[in-house]
Amino acid sequence: MNRLSLADKLNLNKFEVDEGEPHILINNELCKSCGPKSCLLVCPAGLYSEQNGEIIVEWAGCLECGTCRAVCDKKAIDWKYPRGGFGIIFRQG
Ligand code: SF4
Ligand code: SF4
C-alpha cells in the first residue's frame, strides 16, 4: 500500500475560508521581545513566518490544532476557532 507523504495528506484537506475574519491575530508588539519565536517552529502546516521583522500567520490554512497558542509564552496570539461552517474539513485520518 502506498503511504501518503505529509504534504499529500495536507493537500487532501479542504478549507472554508471566512474571508476578512481571521481567527488568529498576532500582537507583534509582544513578539519584538520574544527570544525563541517558537511559533515559527511548531506549526505543522508551516503557516508562520517572519517578514520585515513582523510575525505573519497565513491563518486560512490553519489545521486548528492550537499548538501555536500553546507555545507562545507571551500570550501574543489571539486564537479562536473559526465561526461555524468555516475552517478546515479533514479528509484523511
Ligand atoms: S511565540 Fe508568540 S511572542 Fe513569540 S514570536 Fe511567536 S507569536 Fe510572537
Ligand atoms: S493552530 Fe496549529 S495549524 Fe493553526 S496556525 Fe496554529 S499551529 Fe498552525
Q: Ligand 2 pocket test: which of 37, 56, 63 has the largest number of ligand atoms within 8 Å of its C-beta?
A: 63
Bridge partners of residue 25, in order along the sequence: 78
- Helix runs in 13-75, H state only: 28-31, 39-42, 67-71
CATH number of 6-89: 3.30.70.20
pLDDT band, very low/low/confident/very high, at 10 (cuts 50, 70, 90) = confident
Where is 57: in which H helix or E strand?
strand 54-57
pLDDT in tens, 31-71: 999 999 999 999 999 999 999 999 999 999 999 999 999 99
Separation of 64 CA from ligand 2 center, angstroms? Answer: 6
Q: Which residue has the higher pLDDT, 49 or 7?
A: 49
| Residue 15 φ/ψ region, left for φ over 0, alpha for ψ in the -120 to 50 degree band, beta for the rest | beta
Contact (Cβ atoms closer than 8 angstroms) between residue 79 and residue 68 = yes
Instruction: Return the domain boundaries, the chain.
Output: 6-89
pLDDT of res. 56: 98
Q: Which ligand is the nearest neighbour of the Cα of 69?
A: 2
